[in-house]
Amino acid sequence: MSVLEAVKQESATVASDPVVAAHLPRLGMSAPLFEAVTTHGKIRLEDFRGGWVVLFSHPADFTPVCTTEFLAFAQIAPELHKRNTELLGLSIDSTSSHIAWVRNIKEKFGVDIPFPIIADSNKQVATLYGMIMPGESTTETSRCVFIIDPAGVLRAMIYYPLTTGRNTDEILRVIDALQTTDKHRVATPANWHAGDKVIVPPPATMEEVDARLNAGYECTDWYFCKKAV
């Protein structure tokens, strides 16, 4: 069985098992596959394999907080492309509603929305990704963000309540952190931004401790060392 076939089988199991679906999503697992209709035509998640994806949901079209978020996502879209990252929006509104809203944003704010918006009227994708929070709403998707890596693995997720608009700078920061840690096999400290020093993984043996303290890193103690990348 190929890797793609295994991922499809896993996603099919998740979609058909309400107990498993209730436990989604999980960091480090294959992002559930889907095919969906969008404002840019029909897409499949596996079409984006090889690049990073930011999949985000919003409660509803033609709402003020969501409008500010779409303006903000449109603003960071060029920066995401520099990071080999594509945006995918989603709500349970129809494609017609999405198109009308995108046209309204262009008319009223002078901003083009460059990314596809999934019309998830049957809640298939929302269910796969746990986007609906019954405690807040049974009819609207929450403000969820899922970051998926080039191998199709779910690497980060952020949930916001309906009343709180997202910080798109934080989404860029998380992608920078993930890409940096993947490339250099390091970790990033609190409030890290691209260009800051990173955390060197702590040593696991006494021999590694001695080597670490003489490796030229910026060490506060044997377990806490930083370096530039």
- Please report the pLDDT score of residue 10 as a whole number: 45
User: What pLDDT digit, counting tens, does each position of 144-190 carry?
Assistant: 999 999 999 999 999 998 899 999 999 999 999 999 999 999 999 99
Domains and CATH numbers, the chain: 3-166 (3.40.30.10), 185-227 (3.30.1020.10)
Q: What is the pLDDT of residue 134?
A: 75
List, by residue number, the catalytic residues.
66
Mean pLDDT, 10 residues at a time, the chain of 229 residues = 45 43 77 97 96 96 96 98 98 96 98 97 92 77 95 96 94 98 97 97 89 88 93
DSSP result, the chain: --HHHHHHHHHHHHHH-HHHHHT---TTSBPPP-EEEETTEEEEGGGGTTSEEEEEE-S-TT-HHHHHHHHHHHHHHHHHHHTTEEEEEEESS-HHHHHHHHHHHHHHH-----S-EEE-TT-HHHHHTT---TTT-SSS--EEEEEE-TTSBEEEEEEE-TTS---HHHHHHHHHHHHHHHHHT-B--TT--TTS-EEEPPPSSHHHHHHHHTTT-EEEETTEEEE--
Phi, psi at 178, each rounded to 5°: -60, -45
Please identify which residue in the block is written with the tokens 């702590």: 202
Residue 5: the pLDDT is 53
In angstroms, the first-to-last Cα distance of the chain is: 39
What's the pTM value of the predicted model, to 2 decimals? 0.86
Structure confidence at residue 23 (pLDDT): 57
